[in-house]
Amino acid sequence: MSIDNIIAKILSDATEHADKSVSEATQKAEGITAQAKEEAIAIKKQLAEQGTADAIITKHRKQSLAELEARKIRLAARQKAVSNAMEAATNYLVNMEHDEYIAFLAKQIVATRAKSGQLLLNSKDKVAVGEKLVSTANVLIEGGNITLSDQTINAKGGFVLKCGSVEINATIETLVNLIRESVTPEVVAILFQE
């Protein structure tokens, strides 16, 4: 499955969640704004004897604070939606079908340009796909001599490739975090139709 298809799937799943988060945030914001308007009206009546200018200033301050709070709530909802999209991406990648997962990881190994080294996987992947992944990667790498390490890593998925004293971290979490900054504007645009 191509990264575009993966991203499209993730964005589709995340859009539904984002719409719900934004709707909840908007309702909270509207409630805060309505309450602030009610408070401003009450304050205006109470201060009418003290002068119309003071009441208007107070009303504007309350509305400004309410609008600022509403913006904060919407921003928090967007940030949470982006984090949820990234978490969904991570979960999608680690839950791919075995053959698809092996092909994906083998391409990542080839992308390291390493010809040899020890491949470290989490304990689940080591048992489920380890040997097949190593053989697939070695077929794709001309003169490939990747071996499966007895050691395991603490990661949801992906791998660490030890090449002598160099370790190449290609865990799923790391791969998703590497693209997070570059895809966040696109994710936000799609989730919130900006």
> How much is the pLDDT for 2?
65
pLDDT for 101 equals 93
**pLDDT at 130 (0 to 100):** 94
- Residue 49: predicted pLDDT: 65
Which two tokens mark 96? 């791919």
- Residues with Cβ within 8 Å of 167's Cβ and at least 6 positions away in sequence, in order, are 160, 161
Geometric angle at alpha carbon 166, from 105 and 131, rounded to 5°: 35
- What pLDDT is recorded for position 81? 77
Question: Which residues are CB-contacts of 182 (< 8 A; sequence separation ≥ 6)?
Answer: none
Cα separations in angstroms, 58 against 42, 49, 65, 83: 11, 14, 11, 37
Sites in the chain below the pLDDT cut of 70: 1-4, 6-11, 13-14, 17-18, 22, 25, 29, 43-44, 46-49, 51, 55, 193-194
- What is the edge-to-edge ordering of all strands in the sheet holding 145-152? 145-152, 116-121, 158-163, 166-171
Please tell me the predicted confidence (pLDDT) of residue 67: 86
Residue 181: predicted pLDDT: 79
Per DSSP, helices labelled H in the chain are 3-46, 52-94, 98-111, 123-140, 172-192
- Phi and psi torsions of 157, nearest 5°: -175, -175
Domain extents in the chain: 3-95+184-192, 98-163
Q: What is the pLDDT of residues 77-121, one digit of tens each?
A: 777 877 888 888 889 988 999 999 999 999 999 999 999 999 999
- With 0.75 as the threshold, say if the pTM is over it: no
